Amino acid sequence: MKEQREKSTEASHKEDRSQVIVLIPAHNEEAAIARCVEHVLSQSRTPDRVVVIAHNCSDGTAGRARETGAEVVVVEGGNCKADALNEAFERLDGTLEGDDVLMVVDADSYISSGFIATGEAWMEKGYSAVGGVFRGRDDIRGGPMSRYVAFCEQQEYLRYERDVARKHGKALTLTGTAMMIRVSAARDVRDSRPYRKLYTRSSLVEDLEISVRLVNLGHRVVAPVACSLTTETMGGWRRLWKQRVRWKEGAVRTVLEYGLVPGTRTLGLMLAWGAVGMAAVATYLATLLWGIGTGHFTLYPIWIAATAVFALEHAITVFRRGGVGRALIGATLLFEMPYEFFLLAAHAYSYYKALFRNSTEW
């Protein structure tokens, strides 16, 4: 009798709880899709549905996804992730309740086993959307330069993770690599747009834009470190340049579009401060080169002290999560300097594109 009551209670709980539907947009991801779905299905809180959105695929993505047991929605047409997610949401919307949860996971992202359970716990506290915190995977098979770029990306992501942890999950954007959103909040976003779509395809950074819109509509968002995942690194200068120009240009355009409203105020200040920082670094480098070229270069104690502080910061910010080896490499400064100067150039170009060019390109 007791066992029957327990089973009845468990069945009732399952009927009462909200659905979690995982959407995995995938464009030619035959090599990664099976492992992505595997990580989703191995959650401590198993999702109710896993839907792979195979959009404009010319490989075996859809077939590989079906082999894992996932549902597959084939989308033809459109040219970006936002188009695929919008169509999938339109198809599913009639079957969803407001308390249900949509989770979007990139096909090259592998989420930790407790991601969904942690996300639901935060949603029970009143948050409408929960984002993940990602690390770069160490699976680059290229040459030394590819591995160098990947290593520096991993260092950067470790520092970002530390920053989010210190802010207790407060983040400017809910990463598109993996995020959960309450269906009622998703509908609020969709209904607030004149064209009634969940994602806007006019933005270069759909994850940042929807985060800004959620906050602007009065929703609370969070990115707890416990919602962790790994994702691929760019592992090459060309791909990294394209990614970072898109990210930063998209951020600047988003602030220009919305103005300084809830959701963009901190971001706008950070972008302005970033512009000041770029000008300061450019001035420093120009002065340094001038001093070396004219024979007036001198090491002043203040610059030696500043360099020591930067070295310590580079070591401390990766030590806890990356270990002693990564901390020591970070402390050299010189090892990561080419990477950081490269990002500086990409960010400067992004500001130029956002401010002086009208067109956006995916």
Burial 92-103 (b: 16+ CB within 10 A, else e): beeebeeebbbb
Q: Which residue has the tokens 């080169």?
A: 289
Type of residue at 347: H
Type of residue at 174: L
What is the CATH superfamily name and number for domain 17-236? Spore Coat Polysaccharide Biosynthesis Protein SpsA; Chain A (3.90.550.10)
Task: Give CA–CA dist 187/191, Å, rounded.
Answer: 6
Task: Give CA–CA dist 338/237, Å, rounded.
Answer: 11
Which spans in the chain are helix H?
2-16, 33-41, 61-67, 81-92, 115-123, 144-166, 183-191, 206-216, 237-258, 265-294, 301-331, 337-356
| Listed residue (38, 214, 32, 157) closest to 106, CA to CA | 32
Task: Give CA–CA dist 31/319, Å, rounded.
Answer: 33
Q: Supply φ then ψ for residue 231, to 5 degrees.
A: -140, 165
Cα angle: 86, vertex 54, 200; to 5 degrees: 25
pLDDT in tens, the chain (362 residues): 445 544 444 444 445 679 999 999 999 999 999 999 999 999 999 999 999 999 989 999 999 999 999 999 888 766 689 999 999 999 999 999 999 999 999 999 999 999 999 999 999 999 999 999 999 998 877 899 999 999 999 999 999 999 999 999 998 899 999 999 999 999 999 999 999 999 998 889 999 999 999 999 999 999 999 999 999 999 899 999 999 999 999 999 999 999 999 999 999 999 998 888 888 777 776 776 787 778 776 777 877 787 788 889 999 999 999 999 999 999 998 899 899 889 999 999 999 999 998 765 55
Task: Give CA–CA dist 110/62, Å, rounded.
Answer: 18
The pTM (predicted TM-score) of the whole model is 0.88
- Dihedral (Cα; 156, 252, 222, 218), 10-degree rounding: 170
H or E element, residue 219:
none
Per-residue pLDDT reduced to its tens digit, 63-72: 999 999 999 9
Q: How crowded is residue 152: how many other Cβ atoms within 10 Å of its Cβ? A: 23
Q: Which residue has the tokens 């000008």?
A: 279
Comma-separated ranges of CATH 3.90.550.10 domains in the chain:
17-236
Q: How crowded is residue 118: how many other Cβ atoms within 10 Å of its Cβ? A: 20
Q: Can you give the pLDDT at residue 11? A: 46
End-to-end alpha-carbon separation of the chain, Å?
Answer: 61
